[in-house]
Amino acid sequence: MSEIAEFTRHLGHYLQAPDVALVERAFAFSEEAHQGQFRKSGEPYITHPLAVASILSQWRLDAQGLAAALLHDVMEDTSVTKTQIETSFGKPVADMVDGVSKLDHIEFQSREDQQAESFRKMLLAMAQDVRVILIKLADRLHNMRTLDAMAATHRERIARETLDIYAPIANRLGLNALFIELQELSFKHLYPMRYRILARAIKAARGNRREVMNRILQSIREGLKLADITAQVTGREKSVYSVYKKMREKHYTFSQVFDIYGVRVLVKDATACYASLGVLHSLYKPIPGKFKDYVAIPKANGYQSLHTTLFGPFGTPLEAQIRTHWLYKTGGELDLSEAQQQTHRWLQSLLEIGSESRDSKEFLEHVKGDLFPDAIYVFTPKGKIMALPRGATAVDFAYAVHTDIGHHCTAARINYELMPLRTELKNGDQVEIITSPTARPNPSWLNFVATGKARSRIRHFLKSLQARESAALGERMLEQALASLKVPPEAITWERWEALTREYGAKSRLDILADIGMGKRLSFVVAQALTRVTGRPGEESTGHTVKPGALQLRGVEGVAIQYGKCCRPIPGDAIIGQFRRGQGLLVHTRECQTLRKSRIETDQAVDVEWAPEIDGVFEAGIRLLVADKRGLLARLATAIADTGANIAYVSMERPDEGPAVNMFFSVQVRDRKHLAQVIRGLHAIAEVKRVQRART
């Protein structure tokens, strides 16, 4: 076919004869494998891998990469195996084909699962070889160019996936032209009517702008020539999608967006970038606050450029980008070694996330959060620059430094001021993380972190922590249930545990104990199941139900045991436990009104009592009526501190215009005796008219 002849002639411009021969062999192999297969458009299937390889040849990809591109669908759509590819073309080519291939041989619950798992494999494969993602991107580009042949529902799904996943990856790798084309094609198929209307409007507007743009380009070229700066100056035309996006985000009209002109200045090095900036600022006045230096502080994807906005002719805004020939050599060849370096750190973080996230959809969610490099740049105390996505918080920064720093962070100093961990960071912030060896991740952090790395690390820690704590609680509850049946725990044989594990379909004894601790299984039911064979020493199990003894609480026990905010139980209170399926044990006071209203089920109720020795502190509420007086709050706080209690929260309200004020303190105490000591201390202050414990 004439297409392959033209393709190989082009390859001869930058590949040696043996390399061209390898590509020709790969084409022949692929053509034979796809014999009799056709695309939705009716064309022979081989036209697709050939088109993908042709796109890659424009980026001057090497012979192995082109061979893999020609073969990228043979494992998915034909009977060809990876071993056959490796035998014929070598291991690197076979690995690339495997990395790009979809996972049809695995059974997934839904198309979404399949997409997520395929994406996971692609990203992990590209961590070893960046050519995998280049082939995948070229494959997606050709599919998008020929998407008209697909049904409308398929077009919409593929276009959405491209806009959400593949276009951002192209941007992340610095492939700007590919990024723009994928966005344009996605927009065209997602919103065809909007695309047509905007495309027509842009075409009409460009004719009116041509004279002004030519004048701008001419003046910049002459100014750079006078300054003896060699540069390539071009007008930057707005894409349909970029116009649409700016109209949506900024709530601009079409004319407002299109009144902005854009130019790109390409120079040889960073020094020439700054010299060119001086020339532009002498030609047109800069608009204050509209300068960004991505040369001194590159973007996360390696992008280095100076951005400035100027007052152009007739007062029209002029956006200028000044940069070097980034990621491309002068002949248009993609510098793969530099591209590999630019993405190495990002891919390493993906590998770490992938090792922790067993769920492919969760992995995809983490990665999508890191694909949009609208980054901010913050500094460590030693001056190291770190790039984070916009919206990142001090917790994201902590995990970006090191997982252990994230796990143990307690607060942050931002620009030398002590700030909460949820504080959103801004460009140029200096951030220092304060840690404590006893601190650990808080589930509430998941509500505000912005990076996939932080989200993944927090979830992984909490899952493993919950499993450990739940298993420890479950073991204690099971021991008490066995004690009520007069069966010592050591009487339960390993074989009986194994039999019960198989019966329950659990992975291990630890899983059963964790299920008990989480309230998924009742301890007494498990105890009875274990004693069906074991029984009491010397006698058969009667199956008679005996109420197990009360579970002793030793204090603040993590995520498996929680204390109700509705009644705030503290040691010394009469208490009862409520099992919530999948959430562990919630402890209430016996007179808790919320518990009474919820009508706790019999199988949810658990007898609990305080252990003789209790660790930790507990939150209790104190409500006061006081006569307002200057300095009173400080005296109240001092009285509480003098008893050794800590204030967790305070609020106040004035019920009317009178001098009396209602106050509420949440204090951390050891037990009821300690709370009584706090209340006596507050009573001693003359302005305190009434003080009582607040249950809610």
Burial 346-356 (b: 16+ CB within 10 A, else e): bbebbeebbeb
Radius of gyration of the chain (CA): 34
Task: Determine contact, residues 670/617, Cβ cutoff 8 Å.
Answer: yes
Catalytic site includes residue 139: no
Q: How many CA atoms lie within 13 A of 26 on its CB side?
A: 29
Task: For residue 239, give the amino acid letter.
Answer: S
What does the alpha-carbon distance between residue 67 and residue 88 come to, in Å, rounded to a whole number? Answer: 11
DSSP state string for 366-395: HHHHHS---EEEEE-TT--EEEEETT-BHH
Joined together, the tokens standing for residue 115 give: 């997409």
Within 8 A by CB and 6+ apart from 151, the residues are: none
Joined together, the tokens standing for residue 423 give: 């504080």
- The secondary structure of 218-250, three-state, reads HHHHHHHHHCCCCCEEEECCCCHHHHHHHHHHH
Task: Determine contact, residues 550/587, Cβ cutoff 8 Å.
Answer: no
Tokens 């690339």 belong to which residue? 96
CA 71 → CA 8, 68, 194, 576, distances in Å?
Answer: 16, 5, 37, 66
What does the alpha-carbon distance between residue 402 and residue 435 come to, in Å, rounded to a whole number? Answer: 12
Strand order in the sheet with 305-311: 232-235, 261-267, 317-324, 305-311, 292-293
Bridge partners (DSSP) listed for residue 24 = none
Q: Coil, strand, or helix at residue 694?
A: strand
What does the alpha-carbon distance between residue 321 and residue 220 come to, in Å, rounded to a whole number? Answer: 12
Long-range contacts of 101-107 (CB under 8 A, 24+ apart): 101/72, 101/73, 101/75, 101/76, 102/76, 104/76
What does the alpha-carbon distance between residue 495 and residue 531 come to, in Å, rounded to a whole number? Answer: 12
- What letter would DSSP give residue 166? I
Catalytic site includes residue 95: no
Please pick, among 76, 98, 352, 628, the residue that the annotation labels catalytic: 76
Backbone angles phi, psi at 440, to 5 degrees: -150, 165
Please pick, among 19, 24, 31, 77, the residue that the annotation labels catalytic: 77
Task: Determine contact, residues 11/57, Cβ cutoff 8 Å.
Answer: yes
Active site residues: 76-77
